[in-house]
Amino acid sequence: MARYKDTGFDTVIDTETEGRFVNKTSPEFQEWLNEGNTPDPAEPPPVKTYEELRRAEYPPVGDQLDAIWKHLATQNPTGDAEVMLTMIYSVKTKYPKA
């Protein structure tokens, strides 16, 4: 294990001093590099799961629901859907877009 561990940014972690951050341009670190040393590489970021990747690509849920309700309004909804659409339009009327 090398004395320094790269952070992937403009600092390294000094492993001999319980994680003290050192700027890569500091004389201390530059001297250590000039001695032929190489810091341990930064750890790669965690791999995102299938769910995280998909969730990040979808539009916000509010936008999805808005599109569904706008379409449903053109279909002459009945029952619970009609009640829900009435409630939605009531709020939109009460608080119109500026």
Q: What is the mean pLDDT of residues 45-60?
A: 94
pLDDT tens for each residue of 56-76: 999 999 999 999 999 999 999
Distance separating alpha carbons of residues 56 and 87, to the nearest angstrom: 30
Please state the pTM of the whole predicted model.
0.50
> What SS3 class is residue 66?
helix
Q: Report DSSP state, residue 50.
A: H
pLDDT at 1: 64
Q: Where are the domains of the chain?
A: 1-45, 59-94
